[in-house]
Structure 1
C-alpha cells in the first residue's frame, strides 16, 4: 500500500495521536513538512505513473501552505482531506458565511463592509454590541467585541493601519447573548463524533486563550446544524463551532484543521477522534475521492 501523507509543519498533540492511530492500523504514512514540500508541474510528483500517496491528510496550520499543498496533491490525483476547496471556503469567514446562508444554516446576524470607514456605519446598522473579526485567522486573534460607535471607530482605525488589504475588509457579527460557553462539534464525513461545551473567563472561549472543555450531550438541535454546516462547506473532517442563542443554536464558524485535544480530554475513551479521522482518510483513499 502506498503511504498516507500527513501534511504538518508542526507536530502537536493531534498529529501525534494521528500518527499513533495510523501505526495501530498498520497503515504506512509519511510526515510531510510543508516547509519542505514542492511539486513539479507537468507530472513531476508522480511515481511510475501513479500518485505517490494513497491519500493525504492536511493538518497544516498555515492557511496558504495548506491550501496550495492540497491543490498540488489533488492535481496529481491524490485524494486529500480536506480538499482545497474546503480549505479555501473555511479559511475565509465571508465565504463560509455565504455558503452557510445558501444552505439555510442558522447563523448570527452578519454584515460586511469593504472599508474600515464604512465598517462603523455597518456596525451601527447591525446594532451594538458587535464582534469585529478578520476574514482569515484562528485562535481568536484580532477579534474584538465593541459596544458602541466610539469603540468600533477605535478598533477599525487600528485595522485601517494594518498593511494587509484583506484586513481592511470589515466582517461583523452580532454578539450573541450566550450562557458563558459555546459548543464544538466534530464531524468526519457524515458522522458526528461528539460535542463539547467550551468555557472561558471572558466572552471568547478558544482553547488557545485558555478555554476549558466539557462533554456536551448530542441532541438533534446540535447535530442538525452541525451536519448541515459541514455539508455546506464541502464536507470532510471539520470542527463546527456553535453558540446557543435565545432561539436555538447558531453556527459561528467551521474549522478545516480542527484541533481536538480539549475534545478528546472531555470524552476520554468514549471517542477516539484520531481513529475516526484515519477511518475517513482511508475511506477517501479507497474510493479515490476526498471529502
Structure 2
C-alpha cells in the first residue's frame, strides 16, 4: 500500500521478488472498499505492508483491511498511537520507557507557563507530523510566546494543543534504531549541523553499534506502542539514552546507505510481514495470496 514509490518501496519490491512472494502494489489513491458488501470467499490478501506516507490514508487503509481479515503491517492501533506524539508519550510513560521530560498544554495561552515550569530551553512540536516540520526550539519565554502566538493563528485546533519537551543537549547527533517485531535490525547515528538531525533535513547517517543500552529501550518502546516495523529515535541524555519518538512509517534510505551490504532493511521488513501473514489465523497460505 503506497501512493508514492520511493527508494524504500523499490527495495521492498526487490526483497519480495527475491523471496518469491507474490505481491500487488496498491496505490492508496485508487483504493476503496464498500462497507457491508459480501466478503467474496475470504480476504483478498494474506497481508498488507502499509507504506502510505499520509497518516490519514495509512490509518484508514489499515482499518479497512483489518475489517476484511487482512493482517496489516503496521496494525491500525499502532499507526494511531505513533501518529500522535501525546499518545506515544503516554504509551512510553505507561511502559516506564525513559524519555525526555514532556509537558502538554491545552491552549497556546497556557503553553508559555507550561514551558517555564518545564524549564528553558524547550522544544515545541506539533502533535502530528514528520521530517522535523513545525518543530522549534525556545530558549526563553519571549521566544516561546512568539512561537505560541504563531500557533494560535493557525486554523487547525490540533495546532492549539501545545506539546513541549525538554531540550536535550545531545552530542550533535541522535540515533535511529529500526525494529521488526522482537528483532532489532540495526542502528545509525544521524549527524547534522543543526540541532534537528532528521535525514529529510539533510542529516548524515553513519553506522551505530548495537549495544544493550540501545537495544533495550528500543525494544521496550516498540512494544509500548504495539509492536511491528518501527523506527525508534533515541537521544543520548546525560543519564543515558532517551526515546524521542516512535515512527510507524519507517524511511530507511540513509540507514541503508550507511550500512551498505551489512544489513538489508527491506528484507527484514518483508520477513516480518510474511511471518505476520502466516501467524494470522484463517488466512490462505502466503504462496497462494492473490
Normalising TM by the smaller chain, what interval? Answer: over 0.9
Structure 2 runs not aligned, ≥5 long: 282-290
1:280 aligns with 2:275: no
Given candidates 63, 67, 70, the residue that maps to 1:71 is: 63
Query: In 2, Cα distance between the equivalents of 1:167 and 1:194?
Result: 34
TM-score, normalised with respect to structure 2: 0.96
Alignment of 1:221-240 (within 5 A): 221-240=213-232
Alignment pair present for 1:182 and 2:210: no
Structure 1 unaligned regions, length at least 5: 1-6
2:87 equivalent to 1:104: no
Partner SS for 1:56: strand
1:32-52 Cα offsets, whole Å, 9 max, x none, are 1111111011145x3x32100
Q: Distance in 1 between matches of 2:242 and 2:132?
A: 18
Q: Tell me by how many angstroms 1:162 deviates.
A: 0.5
The CA RMSD over aligned residues, in Å, is 0.8
| Matches of 2:97 and 2:77, distance apart in 1 | 19
Equivalent position to 2:76, from 76, 84, 106:
84
- 1:34-45 matches, cutoff 5 A: 34-44=28-38
1:146 corresponds in structure 2 to 138
Per-residue CA shift, 1:58-97, capped at 9, x if unaligned? Answer: 0000000000100000000000000000000000000000
SS of the residue aligned with 1:241?
Answer: strand
What is the SS of the residue equivalent to 1:171? strand
Runs of 4+ aligned residues of structure 1 deviating over 3 Å after TM superposition are none
The alignment partner of 1:32 has SS state of: coil
Q: Report whether the alignment pairs 1:201 with 2:193.
A: yes
| Whole-angstrom distance in 1 between the partners of 2:37 and 2:174 | 45
Q: Displacement, 1:201?
A: 1.1
Instruction: State how far apart, in whole Å, the 2-side matches of 1:26 and 1:40 are.
Output: 31
Please name the residue that 2:128 is paired with: 136
1:213 pairs, out of 205, 211, 224, with: 205
Q: How many pairs does the alignment contain?
A: 281
Larger % of strand: which? 1
| TM alignment of 1:115-134, pairs within 5 A | 115-134=107-126
202-211 or 21-30: bigger deviation: 21-30
Partner of 2:147: 155
Quick check: 30-39 or 180-189, which moved more? 30-39
8 Å CA contact 1:135–1:169 kept in 2: the answer is yes
Find the residue that maps to 1:263 and give its secondary structure. Answer: helix
Aligned counterparts of 1:20 and 1:78: Cα–Cα separation in 2: 22
5 Å-filtered alignment, 1:244-263, equals: 244-263=236-255
Partner of 1:18: 12
